[in-house]
Amino acid sequence: MSIEDAVRIIGERRPGFMPRVALLLGSGLGQVAERIEDPTRISYADLPGFPVPTVAGHAGSLILGRLAGVDLLCLNGRVHAYEGGDGAARLKVLVRTVKQLGVEALVLTNAAGSLRTEVGPGSLVLIRDHINMLGFNPLQGPNDEAWGPRFFSMRDAYDPALAARFRRAAVATGIALAEGVYLAYPGPNFETPAEIRAFRGLGADLVGMSTVPEVVVARHCGLALAALSAVTNLAEGMGDGMLSHHETLSQGARIAQSLETLILGFLESLKHGL
Ligand code: HPA
């Protein structure tokens, strides 16, 4: 698994292309990828060491192209802690490949449950900070000093300048954008109602099964990032129905339109430099 191989293959498929932004699309949020102009698609399976997602709603392809006039690399699909295997090693390859390509900003998206009744299904939330309840860290094991130090601060892991840009884009496009703390849960089961009550006490506004490992690896190697949650449901015990992956995907598709508008607004703001 070599980052150099992935970088070389991407370079061969699209010579001279220098993406400025990388956009990772979460469960059911792949729609914006359809808007990319002049796309070059590369399957994760063709990139050594890249994670091949096993979950419905995750395509597993990398797309190079332009969106709102900005050269962009779109990561359509991710792996999750519950998929097991060598997912953590592959996640490092994916994030570090993005860094190696010279990307200035990584934008992560996910589907999440909300712990706040006033931030219901259909809402978009800018992640301010996180709580890692996964029980693992993708950087466990020997540290590769070439990428970053053994110990590092997580203050402002969600880049304040990129967050400010998203707030401005939300105002400019008329999209309501809440803000909150995301708690990562290992899954694959949804949380119990008792866990949700406990997580509220811990300060969580959102719960999901992803994003935190990518944030940790990106922060370690100094890649600036922002993250957005699309709320697909109220967290377990707060709403009427039982949670299901089907609900995540169908609600995700509903929110994809406003997510797309917000992302386009954000990219517009980058046209004149970061
Ligand atoms: N919990 C965990 N992950 C999720 C949820 C949830 O309620 N909704 C979408 N992804």
Residue 191 near residue 199, CB atoms below 8 Å: yes
Whole-number percent of the chain with pLDDT over 90: 76
28 with 111: CB under 8 angstroms? yes
Longest dimension (CA), the chain: 52
pLDDT in tens, 244-260: 888 777 777 778 899 99
Helices (H), the chain: 3-13, 87-100, 160-173, 193-202, 212-220, 245-270
Q: Which residues line ligand 1 (CB under 6 A)?
A: 111-113, 185, 190-191, 207-209, 232-233, 235, 243, 248
Q: At 131, list the tokens.
A: 């709580």
Tell me the C-alpha distance between 195 and 127, whole Å: 20
- The 10 Å CB-count burial string (b at 16+, else e) for 133-171 is bbeeebbeeeeeeebbeeeeeeeebbbeebbebbeebbe
How far apart are the C-alpha atoms of 10 and 103, rounded to whole Å? 13
The pLDDT of residue 175 is above 90 = yes
CA of 236 to the centre of ligand 1 (A): 8
- Each residue of 213-244: pLDDT tens digit? 999 999 999 999 999 999 999 999 998 878 88
Give the pLDDT of residue 274. 64
Active site residues: 27, 58, 80, 82-83, 111, 209-210, 233, 245
Packing angle, helices 245-270 and 160-173, rounded to 10 = 100
Burial track 79-103 (b if 16+ CB lie within 10 A, e otherwise): bbbbbeeebbebbbbbbbbbbbbeb
**Ligand 1 mean position to 243 CA, how many Å?**
8
pLDDT in tens, 103-119: 999 999 999 999 999 99
Give pTM, 2 decimals. 0.95
Helix or strand or coil: residue 165?
helix
The C-alpha atoms of residue 101 and residue 96 are separated, in whole angstroms, by 9
Q: Looking at residue 57, what is its pLDDT?
A: 58
Structure tokens, 114: 């909300």
CA distance 169 to 177: 10
Rg of the chain taking only CA atoms, in angstroms: 17
- DSSP codes of every residue in 200-213: HHHT-SEEESSSHH
DSSP label of 191: P
Q: Quick one: which atom of ligand 1 is closest to the CA of 248? A: 9
Report pLDDT for 97: 96
